[in-house]
């Protein structure tokens, strides 16, 4: 398999891994003021999921970097392309930070200190907000570029713009209200749109990068 096609398929791998990681870490955490026993129980119950999610998101980050290279080759050198690449990198970095913090909050399982767990888990919201900001820029740029140039299917550009709006709503909600969870408004919709767009673009780029069949050899008869 050529390097171009491997990079293109990195988008599909990213979509699968980051959806898996998101499904593992999304769940009810205790209220900030909940008793210490509830936070300790959460750490014990979430430790295995957070361990797997961390591995998945790190591998997803590598896959996205490979995909970004293929995406860069497929698009032009305009500002939308640069915004898409930079936004995607920021989004992935935010996800990694968030999942690392969640993992740190549950690393000792039942032996976790409730005060430390509570603080670290609350701090993970910063990573998710950073991810929403980065992916908002990424999806907005690729959505506008797709609708303008037809580089990818038009429907995928619309999906990307819907995802950008969802991530923007998430970011604004998280900043505006300290009590409102950043997951509450747009994260599920934004993540779904990101997964759909990335998978669709990945498959499209992999088809384009597939080697053409060699012409038949001339007959010696």
Calculate mean pLDDT across residues 188-215.
79
pLDDT at 109 exceeding the cut of 50: yes
**How does residue 215 score in pLDDT terms, banded at 50, 70 and 90?**
very low
Q: Angle at Cα 99 formed by Cα 94 and Cα 105, nearest 5°?
A: 130
- Which two structure tokens, joined as six digits, stand for 34? 């909940």
- Give the Å distances, CA to CA, from 1 to 4, 8, 9: 8, 11, 10
pLDDT at 221: 47
Q: Average the pLDDT over 19-24 and give the result.
A: 87
Distances (CA, A) of 197 to 63, 154, 168: 15, 11, 17
Residue extents of the structural domains in the chain: 3-209
% of the chain beyond a pLDDT of 90: 37
List of long-range contacts for 109-113, beta carbons under 8 Å, 24+ apart: 109/43, 109/44, 109/47, 110/40, 110/43, 110/44, 112/39, 112/40, 112/43, 112/44
- Contact between 100 and 128 under an 8 Å Cβ cutoff? The reply is no
Which pLDDT score, from 0 to 100, does residue 57 have?
93
State mean pLDDT over 120-141: 90
pLDDT for res 175: 56
Higher-confidence residue of 6 and 199: namely 199
Contact 56, 21 (CB under 8 A): yes
What is each CA distance from 194 to 53, 80, 90, 100, 101, in whole angstroms? 18, 17, 14, 21, 23
What percent helix, strand, coil does the chain show, rounded to 5?
80, 0, 20
Return all residues near 172 (Cβ < 8 A) that are at least 6 apart.
none
What pLDDT, on a 0 to 100 scale, did the predictor assign at position 77?
Answer: 80
């Amino acid at each position: 398999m050529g390097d171009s096609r491997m990079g293109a398929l990195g988008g599909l791998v990213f979509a699968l891994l980051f959806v898996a990681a998101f499904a593992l870490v999304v769940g009810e955490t205790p209220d900030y003021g909940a008793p210490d026993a509830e936070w300790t129980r959460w750490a014990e119950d979430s430790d295995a999921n957070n361990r797997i999610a961390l591995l998945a998101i790190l591998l997803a980050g590598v896959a996205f970097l490979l995909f970004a290279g293929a995406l860069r080759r497929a698009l032009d050198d305009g500002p939308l392309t640069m915004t898409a690449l930079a936004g995607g990198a920021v989004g992935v970095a935010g996800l990694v930070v968030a999942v690392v913090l969640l993992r740190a909050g549950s690393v000792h399982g039942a032996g976790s200190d409730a005060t430390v767990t509570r603080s670290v888990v609350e701090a993970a919201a910063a990573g998710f907000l950073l991810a929403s900001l980065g992916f908002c820029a990424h999806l907005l740029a690729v959505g506008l570029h797709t609708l303008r140039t037809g580089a990818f299917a038009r429907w995928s550009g619309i999906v990307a713009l819907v995802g950008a709006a969802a991530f923007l709503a998430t970011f604004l909600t998280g900043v505006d209200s300290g009590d409102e969870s950043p997951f509450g408004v747009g994260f599920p919709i934004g993540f779904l749109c990101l997964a759909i767009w990335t998978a669709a673009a990945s498959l499209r780029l992999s088809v384009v990068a597939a080697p053409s069949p060699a012409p038949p050899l001339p007959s010696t008869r």
